[in-house]
Structure 1
Amino acid sequence: MAAYIFSLLPPFFFIIFLIHKTFNKNTTKLPSGQMGLPWIGETIAFYRAQRNNQLFDTFFQPRINKHGKIFKTRLMGSPTVVVNGPTANKFFMSNEFKLVVSSWPTSSVELMGKNSIMEKQGDSHRCLRGIIASTLAPAALHAIVPRICTSIHKHLSKNWQHNKEISLHRSTKMITFTIVLECLFGIGVEQETMFGVFEKVLEGVLAAPIDFPGTKFWRAKRARGEIEKVLVGEVRRKREAMEGGREGEDGMLLSTLVAALIRGEITEEEVVDNVVLLVFAAHDTTSYAITMTFKMLVNHPDCYSLLLKEHEDIARNKRPGEVLMFEDVKKMEYTWHVARETMRLCPPIFGSFRKAITDIEFEGYMIPKGWKVLWTTYGTHYDEECFADPMSFNPSRFADPIQAYSFIPFGGGPRLCAGYQLAKLIILVFVHYVATQYNWSLVYPNESIVMDPLPFPSKGMPIKISPKSVISSSTAS
Structure 2
Amino acid sequence: MAAFITFSFLLLIIIFVYRNSKRRTNKVKLPCGDMGLPWIGETVEFYKAQRSNQLFEEFFQPRMKKHGNIFKTKLMGSPTVVVNGAAANKFFMSNEFKLVVSSWPTSSVELMGKNSIMEKQGDSHRCLRSIVTSTLSVSGLTAMVPRMCGSIENHMQKNWLDREEISLYRSTKMLTFTIVLECLFGIEIVPETLFGVFERVLEGVLSPPVNVPWTKFARAKKARAEIEKVLVGEIRRKREAMEGGGEEEDDMLFSKLVAASIRGEITEEEVVDNVVLLVFAAHDTTSYAITMTFKMLANHPDCYSLLLKEHEEIASNKRAGEALTFEDVKKMEYTWQVARETMRLCPPIFGSFRKTITDINFEGVTIPKGWKVLWTTYGTHYDEKYFPDPMRFNPSRFADPVQAYAFIPFGGGPRLCAGYQLAKLNILVLVHYVVTRYNWSLVYPDEPILMDPLPFPSKGMPIKISPKCD
1:78-117 matches, within 5 Å, as 78-117=78-117
Q: Deviations over 1:141-170 (max 9, x none)?
A: 110100000000111111111100000000
> 1:280 and 1:310 mapped to 2: Cα distance?
31
> How far does residue 137 in structure 1 lie from its aligned partner after superposition?
2.8
Q: Deviations over 1:312-341 (max 9, x none)?
A: 000001111210000000000000000000
1:253-272 matches, within 5 Å, as 253-272=253-272
1:66-465 matches, within 5 Å, as 66-247=66-247, 252-465=252-465
**Superposition misfits of 4+ residues, deviation over 4 angstroms:** 24-28, 248-251
Contact kept in structure 2, 1:178 and 1:191, CA below 8 Å: yes
> How far does residue 249 in structure 1 lie from its aligned partner after superposition?
8.6
Q: How has the CA–CA distance of structure 1 residues 139 and 170 changed in structure 2, closer, same or farther, with 3 Å as cutoff?
A: same
> 2:222 and 2:215 mapped to 1: Cα distance?
11
Matched position secondary structure for 1:119 = coil
Matched position secondary structure for 2:425 = helix
Matched position secondary structure for 1:358 = coil
1:50 — aligned with what?
A: 50
Q: Which moved further from structure 2: 132-141 or 343-352?
A: 132-141
Letter in 1 for 2:400: D
Letter in 2 for 1:210: V
Letter in 2 for 1:444: Y
> 1:208 and 1:49 mapped to 2: Cα distance?
17
State TM-score, norm by structure 2.
Answer: 0.93
Q: How has the CA–CA distance of structure 1 residues 295 and 462 changed in structure 2, closer, same or farther, with 3 Å as cutoff?
A: same
Letter in 1 for 2:368: P
Q: Deviations over 1:194-231 (max 9, x none)?
A: 10000000001111111111111111111001100110
Q: Deviations over 1:378-410 (max 9, x none)?
A: 111001111000000000000000100000000
Higher alpha-carbon Rg: 1
Contact kept in structure 2, 1:182 and 1:251, CA below 8 Å: no
Matched position secondary structure for 1:117 = coil
Q: How has the CA–CA distance of structure 1 residues 25 and 145 changed in structure 2, closer, same or farther, with 3 Å as cutoff?
A: closer
> What residue ranges of structure 2 are gaps of 5+ in the alignment?
1-23
> How far does residue 83 in structure 1 lie from its aligned partner after superposition?
0.3
> 1:28 and 1:172 mapped to 2: Cα distance?
50
> 2:121 and 2:249 mapped to 1: Cα distance?
32
Q: Deviations over 1:122-149 (max 9, x none)?
A: 1211111111111123332110100000
Q: Which moved further from structure 2: 79-88 or 186-195?
A: 186-195
Letter in 2 for 1:203: E
> 1:208 and 1:74 mapped to 2: Cα distance?
15
Q: Deviations over 1:417-454 (max 9, x none)?
A: 00000000000000000000001111111110000000
> 2:388 and 2:445 mapped to 1: Cα distance?
26
Q: Deviations over 1:41-63 (max 9, x none)?
A: 11111100000000001111111
Matched position secondary structure for 1:401 = coil
CA-atom RMSD, angstroms? 1.5
Q: Deviations over 1:91-119 (max 9, x none)?
A: 00000010000001111111101100001
Letter in 1 for 2:295: K
2:32 — aligned with what?
A: 32
Contact kept in structure 1, 2:249 and 2:259, CA below 8 Å: no
> 1:302 and 1:311 mapped to 2: Cα distance?
15
Q: Deviations over 1:174-193 (max 9, x none)?
A: 00000111122222323222
> How far does residue 28 in structure 1 lie from its aligned partner after superposition?
5.5
> How far does residue 259 in structure 1 lie from its aligned partner after superposition?
1.2
Matched position secondary structure for 1:334 = helix
> 1:138 and 1:276 mapped to 2: Cα distance?
24
> How far does residue 251 in structure 1 lie from its aligned partner after superposition?
7.0
> 1:132 and 1:413 mapped to 2: Cα distance?
16
> 1:279 and 1:302 mapped to 2: Cα distance?
35
> 1:105 and 1:385 mapped to 2: Cα distance?
32
> 1:363 and 1:309 mapped to 2: Cα distance?
47
State TM-score, norm by structure 1.
Answer: 0.92
> 1:363 and 1:99 mapped to 2: Cα distance?
15
Matched position secondary structure for 1:177 = helix
Letter in 2 for 1:202: L
1:11 — aligned with what?
A: none
> 2:134 and 2:406 mapped to 1: Cα distance?
26
> What residue ranges of structure 1 are gaps of 5+ in the alignment?
1-23, 471-477
> How far does residue 67 in structure 1 lie from its aligned partner after superposition?
0.9
Contact kept in structure 1, 2:249 and 2:255, CA below 8 Å: no
> 2:44 and 2:214 mapped to 1: Cα distance?
22
